[in-house]
Amino acid sequence: MRKYSQFVLAIAPLFFAALFAAPSAQGQSFVIDLPRDSQHAKIIQRIGVTDITINYHRPLVKGRKVWGGLVPYGQPWRAGANENTTIEFTEPVSVEGKPLARGIYGLHMIPGENEWVVAFSKMSTAWGSFTYDQAEDALRVTVKPQPTEMHEALAYDFDDVKTNLT
């Protein structure tokens, strides 16, 4: 039994190396797509006649101070992790009473202790907020943050879902 165990231990790394390096029937390598810490998420919600899609990655708190710490006050934040967070509207909408055309926007937020700026950027393909430019905003609104219970991972949700236009 000992010789068999030694054989299995000796051949197992070769088997796994060959498995991951071996081309598939289509001539491509086999790759395992391991999950990131900040996993991809997408939420789609119909409100009235408009479909709203938020495409983002979910950063984790991991015991860190987020607002005014990891995400500094007064600095643009990509409203998620990894890549740019985007929001899409299939019809024109009104945000805080201001019109916004249908389309896909980069979603950026500038947190403050008492109010936040939410910016809908025409540059939806940027990588995060590193190159954010206010001149590219289609709309920017100021909102008051609302307290909520703590969640380990960022999640977007729609609280006021209406099935009619009134």
Considering the domain boundaries, does residue 159 fall inside one?
no
Query: Which phi and psi angles does 6 have, rounded to 5°?
Result: -65, -40
Give the per-residue pLDDT at 1: 53
Mean of per-residue pLDDT scores for the chain:
84
Asked whether residue 165 is domain-assigned, the answer is: no
Query: Are the beta carbons of 73 and 111 closer than 8 angstroms?
Result: yes
Domain count, the chain: 1
| Token pair of 101 as six digits | 């055309």
- pLDDT score, position 148: 87
Report whether pLDDT(20) > 80: no
Q: Which domain holds residue 107?
A: 39-143
Does residue 20 lie within any of the structural domains? no
Rg (CA), the chain: 22
Question: Residue 35: what pLDDT?
Answer: 74
Query: Widest CA span of the chain, in angstroms?
Result: 76
Nearest to 86, CA basis, from 115, 48, 43: 43
- The stretch 41-48 carries a mean pLDDT of 93
- Alpha-helix residue ranges (DSSP H) falling in 1-149: 2-21
Residue 33 falls within a domain, yes or no? Answer: no
Name the pTM for this structure: 0.76
